[in-house]
Structure 1
Amino acid sequence: MSATRSRDNSVKRKNVQVVVRVRPLSESERSLGNKNIVSCDFGGKTVSLKNVNASDSLRFIQGQKCFGSYDKVFGPESTQLEVYEGVLAPLMKEVLNGYNCTVFAYGQTGSGKTFTMEGRHDDSNDYTWNTDPTAGIIPRTLQQIFSELGVDIDYTVRVSFVELYNEQIFDLLSRSENSQLESLRIFDDKEKGVSIIGAEEVIVLSLKEVYDLLRRGAEKRRTATTLMNITSSRSHSVFTISVMIREPGLVDGEELLRQGKLNLVDLAGSENIARSGATDIRAREAALGRVINALTMGSSHIPYRESKLTRILQDSLGGKTITTIIATISPASSNFEESVNTLDYAQRAKNIRNNPEVNLRITRKGLLKEYKDEIDRLRRDLLAAREEKRAFLDQEKSSSAVQKEPEILSCEKSHEPSTSENSDEIQKGKVAEICEKLV
């Protein structure tokens, strides 16, 4: 016996949960004459936007538009802890019970997505997950895992951190000097779904290690931005937490391991995702929107394969994952149109229905087999890559020789044989010397 399911292996079919977070108006926005156009139903589920710009392209809204039926709304006064307790704390119970969960942060650039996900950290204070005022979802989640599981439970926590830009996937935790330029590949597994081949998974044991990894990832993103001219608002990041817990007792003489996973996704600015355009980059950025549209309309074909982002998140949208979207908006009057677009987008996503299903519980023997299969697959990929590189180098060498042939012939002509009895040997030596320099 290598794997088993619990009797109650799935929760009821449920819609994607959507919450809205409105950040405070910034001082720079005030200095530019922006007004606060957002009002929230405190403790409720509605958001209203007032259009104060008569020349705005959406003036037909006649001054105000009300968005409702969200699962939760967090106004400008909401704290990082309130957002975590309202959104993530319930999901953590599902992860520890063996479910896969995903949280998206979606909104225009500068609306608070990364602050919500990562937050800020002050090394001078020894905060806990429920006392740190600025910690984001990622560090709070991991510290809560450490706190709840404690020392009496045998468990392992692994994390990975990748960035997606222009259909390329980069490992933000790799220590390789070239990792900013080495794109990872996607692998489709019938049982386990889509995974990223080669992404480093790091075992974490403390909150300090978590913050160190976040800093390493942030530094990698900054370096990649410089090397590849990437604009941060055009890239996505996916921070994945995998938890494996040993269950008490034995089944058929073997220990069982329970697995749960949480994907924390900081999406590119909604000004890039929501709008389709003529370029290939624009089309790929809009793929997520097309998937959401297809799912909400009940289309028979869902275009998951149009982009790597939608392939990676396929199970989170219409699949077996418990999914929540945090829509972040700015209250500034200058951002009226983008805020309307974000709320419209989030409202459509709320109609997506998933079928959450608990992961297979696996034995240690089964886990070792999985690792062995993974190693074998990586070896095959490595051999294939070497063969591909060898074929490329052979082709390049052949092409180079063809290009240099006129020079070689010219060299031969300029060194005509002499009447000396060893002139042939001298001529061959000179040609060889010149050709060696050319190569």
Structure 2
Amino acid sequence: MIVIRKQMIDKVTYRREYKDRYIPLIEYYRKKYHLKIEENCSLPSSFVASENEKNIAKVFIRKRPMFENEFSNRQFDSFMNARFIHYSDLNFLILNRSIFPFHWEVFNEETTTHDLSESSVKSILYNHFGTVFCFGQTGSGKTFTMSGMINLFSEDLFTQLPSSKRVTMTYVELIGESVYDLLNEHKEVEVRDGGEGEFVLCENVWVDIKDSTELQRNYHLAGSLRETHATRVNSNSSRSHYICRLSILDQDNSEFARLTFCDLAGSERNIDSFYHNSERLKESAAINSSLMALKDVMRALVLKKQGTNVRIPYRASKLTRILKDGFETLEKPTQTILISTISPQACDAEHTMNTLKHVCAIGNHSYHAENGKLIFREVISEPKLAHYKIEDQLKPLTKMDRSETLEWLSKVRGGILKSDLKKFPSNMDGKMLTKQAEKRLQQLLESEILGSQLRQEIIDYTNKCNQQKVEHIETIKRINK
């Protein structure tokens, strides 16, 4: 009988311990769903974006390869393909599968930085204002990716640059809420309000760039001077946001175009910072705070694009102030490119899922956790006998997004609330719905009877989900005997 319970064992240790049981089933589903994708039948039609859809940023996913030292540490690749990721449950030998509805390009470990650059960064040459930033956890390959793309971009830039224009660049790093000039003795730089709602870097040095070689040399020199420290995940982890801003000037020194490259510091989980000293902990808190501010800005931009009247919180962090012109300017067209780097390791599965959920939010999509879980037998030989899937699992209201909540409401008591769906707030998801008192529901629906009935439905459905969870655990116990 195989029943592993939470007894002083963390997820990383657990997955490493049972690596040999997880890998065969992951391989089976990797092949199965890769075939489905080739047949164009793997994703619901609602996941496919129209050609005319415009998002706040062009998004690209890059998965780094597994390293030799990771294999020797009993790690394994849990990332199946462009849209699926597996992660193991801590209570029992269970494999969960989540689907991420990307209609963007996904670059795996077999692709090169040149492939990524051709699809992403090269396009910003045709825009007056462009911003490229790498986002992902510590050790997922952000700095490697950005450095390679700078080399390729610089060659394309000077090949197409008219002789009447010249290029200048500035290199700064953001540590906490302080900005420093990397090529001017690390002097502090001010971020001030401009005259037209923009934010301006002040007292920083601009360097004239004559060719691609000089651009690359300065970028890598400045990058070598940024703040780095060894962490649990990465022996040379960047502890600051590195921002390289390039300005293309006309003969009269007026700005023709501005391009910004931002190598963001890596986000960290609590377990990653467990052995940090007080200084490293403060760094991690500041990094995570600024990244959260950036995520809040992007979520607000998505809502604004949907027509919601919302304030964009650019002032929440100096990072978001500096990057503001990558999302909006008054006169000139902008293009923002987000390159999300992810780690394939099983121990990083939750962090990878977190990254991909934020990426989905940028594209106004919701990720999909499939009903049912894959449950292992002790011996995995024949795939059809190797797992058991529990069908028709009810999804708790607290786990439902807005669209799923509205669908659930439309089915309450045979659809009595279909004509009242517009009365619910635009930001109400399932979790918020469960917190509404009976009186509040009566006010929303403008009916004491409907409010009372809905509150009772919420209670009944929640009880049913809880009961099903108990039955689910009992089923797992029987299967694993």
Q: Relative to structure 1, is the Cα distance of residues 158 and 208 closer, same or farther in structure 2, using a 3 angstrom cutoff?
A: same
Match of 1:145 among 157, 177, 181: 157
Q: Which aligned pairs between 1:145-294 and structure 2 lie closer than 5 A?
A: 145-149=157-161, 153-174=163-184, 176=185, 179=186, 182-191=187-196, 193-222=198-227, 232-245=237-250, 259-271=256-268, 281=286, 283-294=289-300
CA distance in 2, matches of 1:50, 1:324: 27
2:86, 2:97 within 8 Å by CA — same for their partners in 1? yes
CA distance in 2, matches of 1:313, 1:56: 42
Alignment coverage as a number of residue pairs: 291
Q: Relative to structure 1, is the Cα distance of residues 34 and 272 closer, same or farther in structure 2, using a 3 angstrom cutoff?
A: closer
TM-score by length of 2: 0.55
**Deviations along 1:127-169, whole A, 9 cap, x unmatched?**
xxxxxxxxx111221221111226xx21101111110011000
Secondary structure in 2 matching 1:15: coil
1:270, 1:342 within 8 Å by CA — same for their partners in 2? no
Select between 71-80 and 313-322 the one with higher mean Cα deviation.
Answer: 313-322
CA distance in 2, matches of 1:208, 1:34: 39
What amino acid maps onto 2:86 in structure 1? K
Match of 2:118 among 82, 85, 96: 85
2:343, 2:352 within 8 Å by CA — same for their partners in 1? yes
For structure 2, list consecutive stretches of 5 or more residues without a partner in the other structure.
Answer: 1-51, 231-235, 273-280, 366-481
Q: Relative to structure 1, is the Cα distance of residues 91 and 301 closer, same or farther in structure 2, using a 3 angstrom cutoff?
A: same
Q: Relative to structure 1, is the Cα distance of residues 269 and 187 closer, same or farther in structure 2, using a 3 angstrom cutoff?
A: same
**Deviations along 1:190-222, whole A, 9 cap, x unmatched?**
338211101211111123322331232133215
**Deviations along 1:88-111, whole A, 9 cap, x unmatched?**
1122122xxxx1011110000111
CA distance in 2, matches of 1:87, 1:48: 22
CA distance in 1, matches of 2:125, 2:69: 37
What amino acid maps onto 1:140 in structure 2? L
Secondary structure in 1 matching 2:188: coil
What amino acid maps onto 2:69 in structure 1? S
Secondary structure in 1 matching 2:139: coil
Deviation at 1:115, TM superposition (A): 0.6
Deviation at 1:48, TM superposition (A): 1.2
Match of 1:308 in 2: 318
Q: Which aligned pairs between 1:406-421 and structure 2 lie closer than 5 A?
A: none
**Deviations along 1:281-320, whole A, 9 cap, x unmatched?**
3544421222223333446222211110011112323556
1:106, 1:327 within 8 Å by CA — same for their partners in 2? yes
Backbone CA RMSD of aligned residues? 3.2
1:330, 1:339 within 8 Å by CA — same for their partners in 2? yes
Deviation at 1:22, TM superposition (A): 0.6
Secondary structure in 2 matching 1:199: coil
Secondary structure in 2 matching 1:328: strand
Greater relative contact order structure (CA < 8 Å, 6+ sep): 1
Q: Relative to structure 1, is the Cα distance of residues 116 and 33 closer, same or farther in structure 2, using a 3 angstrom cutoff?
A: same
CA distance in 1, matches of 2:167, 2:294: 29
Q: Relative to structure 1, is the Cα distance of residues 316 and 171 closer, same or farther in structure 2, using a 3 angstrom cutoff?
A: same
1:234, 1:272 within 8 Å by CA — same for their partners in 2? no
Secondary structure in 1 matching 2:225: helix
Identity %: 30
Q: Relative to structure 1, is the Cα distance of residues 80 and 56 closer, same or farther in structure 2, using a 3 angstrom cutoff?
A: farther
CA distance in 1, matches of 2:145, 2:109: 12
Match of 1:24 in 2: 65
**Deviations along 1:35-68, whole A, 9 cap, x unmatched?**
111133xxxxx421112x33189x99x5211212
**Deviations along 1:309-354, whole A, 9 cap, x unmatched?**
01111232355631110010011111101110111111112249xx
Q: Relative to structure 1, is the Cα distance of residues 268 and 287 closer, same or farther in structure 2, using a 3 angstrom cutoff?
A: same
1:19, 1:325 within 8 Å by CA — same for their partners in 2? yes
| Largest Rg, 1 or 2 | 1
Match of 1:346 in 2: 359
Secondary structure in 2 matching 1:291: helix
